[in-house]
Amino acid sequence: MQRKTLYQTVYHRLRYQILSGDWPIGSKLPPERKLAEEWGVSRNTIVHAYADLETEELIYSRVGSGRYVQALPPPSALPRLHWKDSLPGGSALSAPSLMTELHALVGTRSALNFAFGEGGNHTRLKAQFAKGIDPLHILETSEADYLFPVQGLPELRSWIAEWMGCEQITEPSQVMITSGSQEALQMTTAILANPGDSIAVEMPTYFGALHLFQSLGLHLIPVPVDNEGMRIDVLEGILSRSRPRFIYTVPTFHNPTGTILSEARRQQLLALSEKHAIPIVEDDAYRHLHFNQEPPPPLKALDRQGNVIYINTFSKVLFPGLRLGWVAANRPFMERLTRYKELSISTNTFVQHALWSYLQKGAFQDHLQEARCHYQRQAAVMDEHLRQLIPKGISYMTPTGGFYYWVSLPEQVSPKELLQKAIEQNVVFATGDMFLPRETEQPFIRLCYSHETEAGIEQGMRILSSLL
């Protein structure tokens, strides 16, 4: 595998620190000589890197003052095309097209899948769900072939409100069923922000959210993440200079890093939200997939001002094809969301009845506990192989739930080159730049342990080990 030059290493490290929010928008960059001394490189290397970053419009200069991090522009509008024309092709390694390519590899070549956060077909979860429902009985004894309130099946919404177990959400009117959490996020974003508006987003972040925000023409203000989750001190500085329309976070088993926002930071985040009257969109898809100790309460459970809009999904805890999620929020927001949801009429009524039929049988909690144990075993298998790679220069945090390992590679190793080599041997994973607003070389990859069998994980990890 080709090693990066010293300049490439410096340039990509600077670029990653800007795109991930380690150097926030508007912050002053270190002087060339000082940074060169800190990093043990020549001043000319830093000068060259700064010049290239300025050409990319990631930083700008002020005469006599220095260089500063520039706000990212919203994605440029697509050109007007005849409806029969194809959209212009992007880079082969741009995040959306690469994810499409990886999906195709998993589907057509049966590649070992470390790329996507979903349960595998080898689990018993989908079969158990199917055994728990009788489609003909549902059609004969319910109104599954009719539309019902746009917010979703009332019994299912009542069950969700009770299951959430927080005093902020107590009635079905505060819950809406959606076609997965992605639709929930799309509708919420469309209500809260218009094209050209700014939003604060932890970086790196879930690529589905990233692609959604960019497709809606939003300015992204990156907020870095460390071992305790979102850097609230950086967010506080951002809010003192700008007013984003909302703050997006995955506080529990964060995608892609697997971190958990500490309880102290949750309180600080809520305090900032209250102080600046800015809503928080909490994406909590992995909360119930903890291994041993339960994570801190959701932000929504600590929310005293009604500032948190809560999103979750059944797709992670049951199976991805279910495509049912929900939004829970204060009543005024839910009224606006209901009007917006009318554009799609309703969420699949038969699937809602099928889920409600399954939940009534009382097997869900046992099912959930089995899923936790299953994913914990798979994580342990991957961890065993990762530990053996530490002498080769990798580092990582062991997750306590969720689906992911966020792995730091030696700085001289290119994640993209590693991925291409892995694809040749039928293994796929996600490179770290898929979770950033622009492509950049950076030292991270995300490995998902939820899809493959334990034998598949061992086989794939042996292949990756041979490539490092």
Look at residue 331 in the predicted model and tell me its pLDDT: 92
Please, are residues 351 and 179 in contact by the beta-carbon 8 Å criterion? no
Quote the mean pLDDT of the chain: 86
Amino acid at site 314: F
Look at residue 294 in the predicted model and tell me its pLDDT: 92
Look at residue 130 in the predicted model and tell me its pLDDT: 66
Look at residue 297 in the predicted model and tell me its pLDDT: 95
Interaxial angle between packed helices 263-276 and 232-241, expressed in degrees from 0 to 180 and rounded to the nearest 10: 10
Weakest mean pLDDT among 18-22, 33-37, 120-124, 305-309 = 120-124
Pick the closest to residue 436 from 55, 17, 92, 25 (CA basis): 17
Look at residue 402 in the predicted model and tell me its pLDDT: 96
Please, are residues 321 and 127 in contact by the beta-carbon 8 Å criterion? no
Tell me which long-range contacts 205-210 makes (C-beta under 8 A, separation of at least 24): 205/248, 205/250, 205/255, 205/256, 205/435, 206/250, 206/255, 206/256, 206/283, 206/435, 207/95, 207/99, 207/430, 207/434, 207/435, 208/182, 209/185, 209/248, 209/283, 210/95, 210/435, 210/436, 210/437
Residue 202 and residue 213: Cα distance in Å, rounded?
13
Rounded average pLDDT over 314-342: 90
Rounded average pLDDT over 341-365: 86
Look at residue 89 in the predicted model and tell me its pLDDT: 44
Look at residue 179 in the predicted model and tell me its pLDDT: 92
**Which one has a higher pLDDT value, 147 or 463?**
463
**Which one has a higher pLDDT value, 299 or 139?**
299
What is the tens place of the pLDDT at every residue in 99-133? 777 777 766 567 899 998 887 665 556 666 666 66
pTM of the model: 0.86
Pick the closest to residue 419 from 11, 7, 93 (CA basis): 93
Amino acid at site 466: S
Rounded average pLDDT over 183-202: 94
**Which one has a higher pLDDT value, 448 or 65?**
448
What is the tens place of the pLDDT at every residue in 388-447? 999 999 999 999 999 999 999 998 888 999 999 999 999 999 999 899 887 777 889 999
Look at residue 140 in the predicted model and tell me its pLDDT: 53
Residue 104 and residue 37: Cα distance in Å, rounded?
46
Pick the closest to residue 247 from 221, 267, 211 (CA basis): 221
- What is the dihedral angle through the alpha carbons of 32, 33, 39, 41, rounded to the nearest 10 degrees? 100
Q: Which domains occur in the chain, in start order?
A: 6-69 (1.10.10.10), 95-125+366-467 (3.90.1150.10), 138-361 (3.40.640.10)
Weakest mean pLDDT among 9-18, 121-130, 196-205 = 121-130
**Which one has a higher pLDDT value, 48 or 74?**
48
Whether residue 344 is predicted with pLDDT greater than 50 in this model: the reply is: yes
Q: What is the DSSP letter of 468?
A: -
Look at residue 146 in the predicted model and tell me its pLDDT: 58
Residue 234: Cβ-neighbour burial (10 angstroms; 0-12, 13-18, 19+): buried
For the chain, state the CA radius of gyration.
23
Whether residue 151 is predicted with pLDDT greater than 70 in this model: the reply is: yes
pLDDT tier at 166, thresholds 50, 70, 90: confident
Look at residue 403 in the predicted model and tell me its pLDDT: 96
